[in-house]
Amino acid sequence: MKLVAFNNLSNSSVRPIHFRVGALIDDDNVADLTPSILPLGLTPIELLRCYDLSTDFTTPASEAVFSGNLPVLSKNDVKLEAPIPRPGKIICIGLNYRNHAIESGMEIPKSPIIFSKFVTSVAAPNEPIGIPTGSEQTDYEAELAVVIGRRGKNIPVAEAMKHVFGYTNFNDISARDFQFTDGQWQRGKSCDTFAPFGEFVATKDEIVDPHNLRIQFRLNGKTMQDSTTAELIFRIPELIEFLSRSITLEPGDIIATGTPPGVGFARKPPVFLQDGDLCEVEIEGLGVLSNPVKQNV
Ligand code: MG
């Protein structure tokens, strides 16, 4: 199933608190799952936070989609939100592709490098990525993101994939000037709109091997990153084990697994995002995440 979140407020500049949950049934149409999966008046956010997404959600949702009885809307008539609009945590892994660590002039990490983004950095598919005032070095990073489906602590490698709900395209937008002059990475990674992801979460049954997916980033149609998740240094089960030793993972949490080589700041000459640019992240089986770039939004 390809899970999306959406609302009908296509012209609203205010991010809605409530949204609807749907499944893409083809490239152009969304089946509205909201009425069929919201028992006892739970909001979709409460549902995503409280339930075991892998079983309590996916099974009835899939059955509802296959029943053919759901209301179907044209994708053109809705505004897609990020498929998890308010994740509890956005955890990012730094330098998790060998050749990206090398291009960044950093050592190959011996254990995962962890940082986070504030939830207010989430951006929807097609929503403009805002270059913040004062940054002249805003950069892109195509990443495979994992969505957690089952709460857990101290999860062993052998159990880790049971906690995965699915996968989505993620763009780890980074203001390099903030990142490298602040002394730590938080502001440079957490500006508003610096965490676009989607368009959908593919439930894990859709992806045979998440460690063998082509991953690409295009800037204005030009391919800037082209690699495979086979190159990940720390794979998904290792990341889940490492993180959950000290952090409780909850349904809806996002883990962005790191970016391959080809980012803008490491190029000669460097390439940074400009007003009017178009960013596209494409991972095999996960569609395309597309976001324009705007100055100071
Ligand atoms: Mg990154």
- Considering the domain architecture, whether residues 41 and 175 belong to the same structural domain is answered as no
Query: What does the pLDDT profile of the chain (297 residues) look like in tens digits?
Result: 899 999 875 555 555 556 788 899 999 999 988 876 655 455 555 565 555 666 666 777 778 888 888 889 999 999 999 999 889 999 999 999 999 999 989 999 999 999 999 999 999 999 999 999 999 999 999 999 999 988 899 999 999 999 999 999 999 999 999 999 999 999 999 999 999 999 999 999 999 999 999 999 999 999 999 999 999 999 999 999 999 999 999 988 999 999 999 999 999 999 999 999 999 999 999 999 999 999 975
The backbone torsions φ and ψ at residue 268, rounded to the nearest 5 degrees and listed phi first, read -125, 105
Ligand 1 centre from 78 Cα, in Å?
30
Ligand 1 centre from 144 Cα, in Å?
10
Q: How many domains would you assign to the chain?
A: 2
pLDDT at residue 47, as a whole number: 60
- Considering the domain architecture, whether residues 73 and 140 belong to the same structural domain is answered as no
Q: Which helix (H) or strand (E) holds 246?
A: none
Q: What is the CA radius of gyration of the chain?
A: 18
Beta-carbon neighbours within 5 Å of ion ligand 1: 141, 172, 259
Ligand 1 centre from 93 Cα, in Å?
6
Range of the domain at 180: 90-295
Where a domain ends, among 15, 49, 81?
81
- Considering the domain architecture, whether residues 16 and 155 belong to the same structural domain is answered as no
Strands 222-228 and 214-219: antiparallel
- Considering the domain architecture, whether residues 238 and 102 belong to the same structural domain is answered as yes
Ligand 1 centre from 116 Cα, in Å?
10
Ligand 1 centre from 40 Cα, in Å?
39
Ligand 1 centre from 149 Cα, in Å?
22
- Considering the domain architecture, whether residues 6 and 119 belong to the same structural domain is answered as no
Q: Which helix (H) or strand (E) holds 160?
A: helix 157-160
Strands 122-123 and 195-203: parallel
pLDDT at residue 40, as a whole number: 43
- Considering the domain architecture, whether residues 135 and 182 belong to the same structural domain is answered as yes
pLDDT at residue 180, as a whole number: 94
Ligand 1 centre from 256 Cα, in Å?
7
Ligand 1 centre from 257 Cα, in Å?
7
Ligand 1 centre from 69 Cα, in Å?
41
Ligand 1 centre from 6 Cα, in Å?
26
Ligand 1 centre from 79 Cα, in Å?
27
Instruction: Kindly report the CATH number assigned to the domain that includes residue 122.
Output: 3.90.850.10
Ligand 1 centre from 280 Cα, in Å?
15
- Considering the domain architecture, whether residues 46 and 143 belong to the same structural domain is answered as no
Question: Quick one: 253 exposed, middle or buried, by C-beta within 10 A (0-12, 13-18, 19+)?
Answer: buried
- Considering the domain architecture, whether residues 198 and 276 belong to the same structural domain is answered as yes
How much is the pTM?
0.93
Distance (Å, rounded) from C-alpha 130 to C-alpha 229?
Answer: 28
- Considering the domain architecture, whether residues 245 and 273 belong to the same structural domain is answered as yes
**Beta bridge partner(s), residue 216:** 226, 282
- Considering the domain architecture, whether residues 188 and 115 belong to the same structural domain is answered as yes
Q: Within 13 Å, how many C-alpha atoms sit on residue 269's CB side?
A: 2
- Considering the domain architecture, whether residues 39 and 183 belong to the same structural domain is answered as no
Ligand 1 centre from 189 Cα, in Å?
9
Q: Is 295 helix (H, G, I), strand (E, B) or coil?
A: strand
- Considering the domain architecture, whether residues 110 and 220 belong to the same structural domain is answered as yes
Ligand 1 centre from 205 Cα, in Å?
25
CA 255 to chain centre: 8
- For residues 98 and 227, the answer to whether their CB atoms sit within 8 Å is no
Ligand 1 centre from 92 Cα, in Å?
6
189: nearest Cα among 199, 175, 208, 210: 175
Where a domain ends, among 33, 60, 81?
81
43, 55, 56, 58, 157 from 150: Cα distances, Å: 18, 9, 10, 12, 15
Ligand 1 centre from 241 Cα, in Å?
19
pLDDT at residue 164, as a whole number: 93
Strands 29-32 and 20-24: antiparallel
Where a domain ends, among 81, 107, 139?
81
Strands 214-219 and 164-171: unpaired
pLDDT at residue 293, as a whole number: 98
User: What would you measure as the largest C-alpha separation in the chain, in angstroms?
Assistant: 57
Q: Kindly write down the DSSP assignment for every residue of 39-74, as one continuous string.
A: GGG--HHHHHHHS-IIIIIHHHHHHHHHHT-S-EEE
Q: Is 141 helix (H, G, I), strand (E, B) or coil?
A: coil
